[in-house]
């Protein structure tokens, strides 16, 4: 229980993309998320909130092509997103079959005494997605 921030939880993780449609398609078709909201901001950005299905969201943000990149070039979308699933092997295989590259093939691990099954693959923007299942 967090004693400093009442009722804290993850609302969303944002991913920057240059391919809005492809990114939304990836998360909805391959990972089963649904579009909760989509809109275009006054500055030309296209945005969508994708419902993961557990009360949290992925926010897809696409800047117009003419928008200058942040200093130092495009920032990496994130380190990785870990999605809890009871069947990481099947979801990982679906991603591989769809042409997305494996980062770590499915395997059993012990993380500080926590037994888990994990697998990693890259998404359409280079973001790394981990599939995570806690084992008895």
CA gap 67, 75 in Å, rounded: 14
CATH of the domain at 5: 3.10.180.10
Q: Do 89 and 59 lie in a common domain?
A: no
Q: Do 38 and 6 lie in a common domain?
A: yes
Check the CA dihedral 14-15-16-21 and report its sign: negative
Per-residue confidence in pLDDT tens, the chain, 136 aa: 788 778 888 889 889 898 999 999 999 999 999 999 999 988 898 999 999 999 899 999 998 877 665 555 555 656 688 899 999 999 999 999 999 999 999 999 998 888 999 999 999 998 899 999 998 7
| Residues 6+ away with beta carbon under 8 Å from 44 | 63, 64, 67
Q: Where in the sequence is the domain holding 55, given as residue range(s)?
A: 1-65
- Tell me the whole-structure pTM to 2 decimals: 0.79
Phi and psi for 69 in degrees, rounded to 5? -75, 155
Q: Do 84 and 27 lie in a common domain?
A: no
CB of 27 closer than 8 Å to CB of 15:
no
């Amino acid at each position: 229980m967090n004693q400093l921030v009442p009722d804290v939880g993850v609302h969303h993780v944002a991913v920057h993309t240059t391919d809005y449609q492809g990114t939304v398609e990836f998360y909805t078709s391959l990972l089963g998320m649904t579009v909760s909201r989509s809109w275009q901001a006054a500055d030309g950005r296209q945005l969508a909130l994708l419902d993961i299905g557990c009360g949290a969201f992925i926010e897809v943000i696409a800047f117009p092509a003419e928008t200058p990149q942040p200093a130092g070039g495009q920032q990496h979308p994130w380190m990785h997103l870990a999605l809890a699933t009871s069947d990481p092997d099947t979801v990982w295989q679906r991603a591989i079959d769809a042409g997305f590259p494996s980062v770590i093939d499915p395997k059993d691990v012990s993380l500080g005494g926590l037994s888990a099954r994990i697998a990693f693959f890259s998404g359409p923007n280079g973001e790394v997605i981990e599939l995570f299942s806690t084992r008895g």
